[in-house]
Amino acid sequence: MLEELVVKNYALIDRLQVRFSPGLNILTGETGAGKSIMIGALGLVLGLKADTEALRAGASEIDVSGIVKLEDNPEVRSWLQEQGIEAEAETIIIRRVVKKNGKGIIFVQSAPFTLTALRELTGMLFDLHGQHEHQSLLSPENHRRLLDHFGGLTSEVTEFGTLHTKLLKLREEHAALIAQQQERVRKVELLEYAIQEIEDAKLKVGEEEQLKTEQHLLANHEKLIQLIEEVYSATAESRGGALGTLRQARASLAEIVKIDSSLSGSSRQLENVFFELEDFVESLGRYKGSIDFDPARLEQIEERLDLIKRLQKKYGGTIDSILAFLEDSRKQLEGLQNSDTIQKRLEEEISLNEKELKQKAATISNLRVQASTRLQEKIVNELIQLGMPKVRFAVQVEDRTSDGGKVLYSNTGKDRVEFLISPNPGEPYKKLAQIASGGELSRIMLAIKSVLAESDHINSLIFDEVDAGIGGEVAIAVGERLKRLAERKQVLCITHLATIAVRADNHIKVEKVAQAGRTVTRVSPVTGKERQQEIARMLAGDKTGDTSLKHAQELLQRYGIGKGG
């Protein structure tokens, strides 16, 4: 609900502030006073195209802001949360500034907004009807939404949307599998080759180090034999080696101990050295005997190390990393080989979902057709009461199709819903956007909103020219419906008819005044005697004559429910 509008430097408005109330807000005033200027300024808050020609002479920018109470509108609350905006005391402030050069800034609370986002937000809060761009009634998508609300189909359509989204996701997965098929085949071949190559190598952890050690020994075989021979000759008992010399020394020291027993400790030490060396010579002899140089073995080792080096270059720097690559490749190959199974499963799931989707879409379509018959009958009855007795109104429900005639499905089903009207006998049905008269369009919306008052979540309706070309009983009927609608919605209405104005919960007078040598538009709520005078002016152009004042008082008493003062 719009609580307050503040306008600066718009057309004849220098600065004004006007408060609106729940219920029926009526704006009246003489022709040219600025009623439409008010609607134009409000249109900027709602996201209408800015016109720099509306900038007040001498000013540098237009500044318009509106305070909006959210009330019971879960759709708006959810949308604002997605934008990261929090309402304060269930209220948001929308501000729009238009510069002289045409550029502008938009804020919701303190957050900058794009014009597209502003229109999306206000489209959930307001309906503006008349000779203006911001008309939800002209959008077939809104026709579908209105019909679904009227028919109680919102939950079915939401469930259908969930199913449709799931189907689209499955199709995307399937398309991705198909698109990647060639790449998948290539990758399978590469993985199979790598796995086979590594498995054929039969690598073992620690193998490389062992092979390098053996390679080193075999590569230095001659030097090793030479050095072993030298050590053996120097330590062995034969050939004058150390062991023979120690044996002789050991015998001599044993004789010495017989003479001087104090050297028995030294004798034991020499015996230990002798036995140690004897063990060493035996071990060295065995090692010397075991050395066998095989040139073929060296060649085998070098070939094996070359193979390991090639595999390391391709698959990892160590045998451990090559074996890890092997395990990972096996898992990847298994996943890729399972893709055919996944593809088949997806195709089966898509088929089942498509079948379910078509069945649900057909059910929703049938329910829409049934609801459309009831809705158009109710709207025609309303339009007859609103001064359009020859009108024909149709709620068209038909399949949405491609150029080739294929039925197209969206998140809301398969139907294209559109409201069509033939205002005069003999004329074909037309789209609502083709209706030239703002008054006719406003009355059509008034009829639709009257029928859908319970189910439509938009809480603020703005009617400009709703009374164009009507009078008498029709005007009374229009007033009745506006009043009835205002019991559930906030209604803002510009009118020239007293029989409508007397029903206001909040009557706002718009007038032009001279101030400091310039003309400005002023607005003020009118009550009591002042309101009676304004109604008298609307009736007869005379706000002071006894007859017009008396007539005004009678209308206020009859329709204003005591609010005339």
pLDDT range class, residue 401, cuts 50, 70, 90? very high
Helices (H) and strands (E) in the chain, counts: 18, 15
pLDDT at 563 over 60: no
Task: Using the Cα atoms of residue 269, residue 271, residue 272 and residue 276 in order, give the sign of their dihedral.
Answer: positive
pLDDT at 221 over 80: no
The answer to whether 122 and 395 have CB atoms below 8 angstroms apart is: no
Name the phi and psi angles at 361, rounded to 5: -65, -40
pLDDT at 396 over 90: yes
pLDDT range class, residue 239, cuts 50, 70, 90? low
pLDDT at 489 over 60: yes
The pair of three-digit structure tokens given for residue 554, joined into one six-digit string:
């009678």
Q: How far is the C-alpha of 179 from the C-alpha of 537, rounded, in Å? A: 75
Mean pLDDT of all residues belonging to the chain: 85
- 130's CB contacts (< 8 A; 6+ apart) are 39, 438, 439, 441, 442, 462, 463, 464, 465, 466, 494
| Percentage, residues of the chain above pLDDT 70 | 95
pLDDT range class, residue 526, cuts 50, 70, 90? very high
Q: What are the boundaries of each domain within the chain?
A: 1-125+458-525, 185-337
Maximal C-alpha separation, the chain: 168
CA distances for 60 relative to 16, 95, 115, 518, angstroms: 17, 16, 21, 17
Query: Strand 24-28 relative to strand 506-515: parallel, antiparallel, unpaired?
Result: parallel
pLDDT range class, residue 12, cuts 50, 70, 90? confident
Q: How far is the C-alpha of 36 from the C-alpha of 464, rounded, in Å? A: 8
- Model pLDDT for residues 311-327, shown as the tens digit of each residue: 989 888 889 999 999 99
Q: How far is the C-alpha of 244 from the C-alpha of 265, rounded, in Å? A: 21
Task: Using the Cα atoms of residue 126, residue 131, residue 137 and residue 138 in order, give the sign of their dihedral.
Answer: negative
Q: What is the pTM assigned to this prediction?
A: 0.62
Q: How far is the C-alpha of 101 from the C-alpha of 92, rounded, in Å? A: 28
- Model pLDDT for residues 126-170, shown as the tens digit of each residue: 887 655 444 567 778 888 988 998 898 989 999 999 999 999 999
CA distances for 6 relative to 89, 103, 436, angstroms: 19, 20, 31
Q: Which CATH superfamily is domain 1-125+458-525 in?
A: P-loop containing nucleotide triphosphate hydrolases (3.40.50.300)
pLDDT range class, residue 301, cuts 50, 70, 90? confident
pLDDT for the residue 166: 94
Torsion of CA 541, 543, 544, 550, to 10 degrees: 100
pLDDT for the residue 544: 76
